Amino acid sequence: MSNRRIGVMGGTFDPVHHGHLVAASEVQARFDLDEVVFVPTGQPWQKVERQVSAAEDRYLMTVVATASNPRFSVSRVDIDRDGPTYTVDTLSDLGAAHPGADLFFITGADALEQILSWRRADDVFDLAHFIGVTRPGYELDDTHLPPGAVSLVEVPALAISSTDVRARTAAGLPVWYLVPDGVVQYISKRRLYSVPD
């Protein structure tokens, strides 16, 4: 029997939007993944300049957004670990939780640019194969990364960002169709993003 193939979609997910969901769905199909695990970050070390929503809110929105897809799940490993999130820890914990599985870490073009600034950047390539996906406004380029460590994949282009969803909410503009309906309702119920970042 071949190894289980598990995609790992890390993100702040503040909030999760259709750009994340399309990227995960496309990679799941193209790489024949058994499952894609969404992993909301703990306190994100690269986003110290703004207040990130409570981990529990980001986690619940991600659960709401992924619940209907039998191949999607959400992991609490990063939000339950104290301190800032490092991808090397995310991948070690998920590897331990799924012995013998092959992990595929999915990352957008913008995040791929920054990988070498990650803590223990060399180690992450031993823990997972990386899949860089296209994102409008960013160049998808892996020439700075080890040969063979990364696959580049074109996904349907959705020019959506969480930053824009937060700004639109603060400005009273609609976010319907940018995020799943349940996430629109959750944002409203919890009054998230009512003031600008």
Task: Give the residues lining the site for ligand ATP (CB under 6 A).
Answer: 11-14, 19-20, 23, 107-108, 110-111, 133, 135, 158, 160-163
Whichever of 3 and 61 has its CB closer to ligand ATP, that residue is 61
Give CA angle at 30 (91, 39), nearest 5°. Answer: 30
Whichever of 66 and 99 has its CB closer to ligand ATP, that residue is 66
Cβ pair 158, 22 in contact under 8 A: yes
Cα 174 to Cα 54, 79, 127, 163, 171: the distances in Å are 22, 29, 40, 14, 9
Task: Tell me how far, at minimum, the Cβ of 166 lies from ligand ATP, in Å.
Answer: 7
Task: Tell me how far, at minimum, the Cβ of 54 lies from ligand ATP, in Å.
Answer: 15
Task: Tell me how far, at minimum, the Cβ of 26 lies from ligand ATP, in Å.
Answer: 9
Whichever of 2 and 49 has its CB closer to ligand ATP, that residue is 49
Task: Tell me how far, at minimum, the Cβ of 6 lies from ligand ATP, in Å.
Answer: 16
Determine which helix (DSSP H) or strand (DSSP E) holds 8, and give its type and residue range. strand 5-11
Q: Nearest-CB residue to ligand ATP?
A: 108
Give CA angle at 84 (94, 152), nearest 5°. Answer: 55
Cβ pair 90, 10 in contact under 8 A: yes
Task: Tell me how far, at minimum, the Cβ of 47 lies from ligand ATP, in Å.
Answer: 7
Whichever of 51 and 188 has its CB closer to ligand ATP, that residue is 51
Whichever of 12 and 85 has its CB closer to ligand ATP, that residue is 12
Cα 18 to the center of its chain, rounded Å: 11
Whichever of 39 and 147 has its CB closer to ligand ATP, that residue is 39
Cβ pair 144, 138 in contact under 8 A: no
Half-sphere exposure of residue 186: CA atoms within 13 angstroms, side-chain side: 20
Task: Tell me how far, at minimum, the Cβ of 191 lies from ligand ATP, in Å.
Answer: 18
Cβ pair 130, 151 in contact under 8 A: yes
